[in-house]
A and B are shown apart, each in its own frame.
Chain A
Amino acid sequence: MAKQAKPRMALRDTVGDKVFYTINAIVLGILALIVLYPLYFIVIAAISDPDAVLGGKVFLYPVNLNFEGFAKIMERKDVWLGYRNTILYTALTVVLSLIVTVPAGWALSRNTLPGKRLLMIYFIIPMFFGGGLIPFYNVMSGLGLVNTIWAIVLPSILSVWNLFMTKTFFESSIPTSLIEAAKIDGAGSFRIFIEIVLPLSKAIIAVMALYYAVGQWNSYFNAMIFLQNENLYPLQLVLKEILIASESTVGGSGETILQQYRLANQLKYVSVIVSSVPVLLLYPFVQKYFAQGVMIGSLKG
């Protein structure tokens, strides 16, 4: 989006153009409000008196500041355990995924690689066709991974999409002549990768680390089907219990519902904040890398 059509001529906008720009800006502004308001509301609801929230008194600003929710969530052992587990899973996933993805991306970007076409086909097929959930489950259980942390980590350490993105990055960002110069200087394939390619690939390594990290941080499904031991539950699974599980059982008279709500409601708002804070805090700093990643991917689509 960087440097886009800024006409060099100092032309006056016509009336029509002015109207266009204004309407354009207004619509986008409204869209931004639609995106931001729910997030903002979560924050103000989390720090307002739960009764005020339930009573519909909180819309634009916090009412009767109340931080009990945060105190309550501090007491929840499962949340902190989930937090710890998620951090562990995410760290493991990132380290392993980089080891698997980056060298493979480099190798696939080499035109001299014999059988490159076959390898590409090998990686492309799973993008469009898979065995489905049940065979996947059976493989995991056959490998003895069920109810271990590896059931969460191992299947997440390679995304073919990310692999291709890495490959495209290498193809477009590492000049061939650089590699040839290193060859003539006497470096072998491994040394070229480690001493020349890796130092020049910080951007893609950062992007990949972030993609894998966010993916693992936010995932719940594999944990849900593969983990029975609650001590291994990642944060998202704990959150699911807090945020959603109760909802489907909601029934009965309005009075009990209200009671339930009062107890759980603030905790929900708070837990949304607590769980999303690391990602959202990081986000503004790393978003340029994220977007960069998509653009790398789009180069060759």
Chain B
Amino acid sequence: MSEVIMKGLKKVYDNKVTAVHDVNLVIKDKEFVVLVGPSGCGKSTTLRMVAGLEEISDGELYIDGRLVNDVAPKDRDIAMVFQNYALYPHMTVYDNLAFALKLRKVPKAEIDKKVKEVAEILDITQYLKRKPKALSGGQRQRVAIGRAMVRDPKVFLMDEPLSNLDAKLRNQMRAEIIKLRSRIDTTFMYVTHDQTEAMTLGDRIVIMKDGFVNQIGTPQEVFNRPVNLFVAGFIGMPVMNFFDNCKVLLENGVYYAEIRGVRFKLSEFQQKALKENGVETQEIVAGIRPQHITVGEGELKATIEVSEMMGSEYNIHARSNEDEVVMLIPTYDLATDVSMGRTVAFTTKPELIQLFDKESGNNLIWYDAESAQNNSPVCKRYDF
């Protein structure tokens, strides 16, 4: 069992800047949790508090049931992979891997066995005698992961480990981390600003902004059930289209969404949820993902301003009065004219429209007030 429990974790710097407000998170044994958010959102600070590199200003941190607030990093039984690898430049790969074990006074033979075993897994055996300088970025990354692996830590911490690699290598390493995870059976805490990494790697994703957790959930949840505007806008590429000044209408017990004068009768599920949440007619921000827009039919109209050829599809930036709408048109769809200046009709399925309260930005359907109050916000789970 190596569970990580954060209770009201908080970081206030000496200059009174609060970097992390009250993080409440339970990482289950062998779970892979990704902290994601824009830079400065406090995700790295949270990770570093778990590592013991930052003092915890307030709150409690348990690793494997033990309160470790005041335990030195080396005694927390964690390992960390750094963004810039942080390999010891003057040591060979072998010594880099062995350093932690040597400090722990592990017998030489055992160190040797362990180092070779890990090198084998990571396919770096032939580089063991080299210095880090003589390795490529991807190889260094492996060594950095290996250095963490040899220790069999309870928790594996990774701080943007892929962001120094070029795009191609990043994709490759991402896949390797997924493979690796099935081999090293431990708890992972992974920090990134890249939502693709978050979505592909995480069992659960923690989305942070300005030191607050905005949503905790599986990749499916944060994509399909964003609890607020920030999460909705942060997750998903291209970014979700938002329509200001729309309305939810309640007429004769039936809910409609009105977007730019066009009414959508909401789906059954939405009806129930809105009813349960006691929503009445109100102003909203409506959100529709570009992937969910159907082009060529419906009453909404927009004029194409830019069309970007992405390979598998065109990203169309179109203008519809005050709104800029992004939509995707598959490149196999040869019938649709994507040239600039053309006006296209578009629509969406009502169940794919996200409804956000205009005031608070909270999702009328998915926002869960109770968990948000505890600063551990998850999406609502209806049982109908």
Contacts and interface: CB of A to CB of B under 8 A. Distances in A.
Q: A and B: direct contact (Cβ < 8 Å)?
A: yes
A148 B160 CA distance: 59
B179 interface: no
Interface stretch (B73-81, B202-210, B260-268): B73-81
A223 B104 CA distance: 51
A175 B74 CA distance: 19
Contact of B83 (A177, A186, A200): A177
A199 B89 CA distance: 9
Given A178-B88, A199-B90, A187 B103 contact: yes
A200 B53 contact: no
Contacts of A200: 89-90
Contacts of B84: 175, 177
A186 B100 contact: yes
A184 B74 contact: yes
A162 B99 CA distance: 32
B90 A185 contact: no
Interface in B220-265: none
A243 interface: no
Most buried by B among A175, A181, A187, A199: A181
A191 interface: yes
Interface residues of B, number: 22
Contact of A183 (B53, B88, B89, B147): B53
A230 interface: no
A187 B105 CA distance: 12
Contact of A181 (B72, B80, B104): B80
A187 B78 CA distance: 14
A180 B53 contact: yes
B127 interface: no
Interface in A162-204: 175, 177-178, 180-187, 191, 196, 199-200
B312 to A, nearest CB: 36
A178 B86 contact: yes
Nearest to A198: B90
Interface string A266-278: 0000000000000
A14 to B, nearest CB: 41
Contact of B86 (A175, A187, A199): A175
B82 interface: yes
B353 interface: no
Contacts of A181: 80, 82, 86-88, 147
B51 interface: yes
Contacts of B51: 180, 184
A192 B72 CA distance: 15
Given A196-B88, A200-B90, A185 B100 contact: yes
Nearest to B100: A185
A177 B74 contact: no
Contact of A184 (B73, B83, B90): B73
Interface string A198-224: 011000000000000000000000000
A186 B74 contact: yes
Nearest to B85: A177
B70 to A, nearest CB: 15
Contacts of A180: 51, 53, 73, 80, 82, 86
A181 B83 CA distance: 11
Given A178-B86, A181-B88, A183-B74, 7 more contacts: A183-B72, A184-B51, A184-B78, A186-B104, A187-B74, A187-B103, A199-B90
29 contacts: A175-B84, A175-B86, A177-B82, A177-B83, A177-B84, A178-B86, A178-B88, A180-B51, A180-B80, A180-B82, A181-B80, A181-B82, A181-B88, A181-B147, A182-B88, A182-B99, A183-B52, A183-B73, A184-B52, A184-B73, A184-B74, A184-B79, A184-B80, A184-B100, A185-B100, A185-B147, A186-B103, A187-B74, A196-B88
Interface of B: 51-53, 72-74, 78-80, 82-84, 86-90, 99-100, 103-104, 147
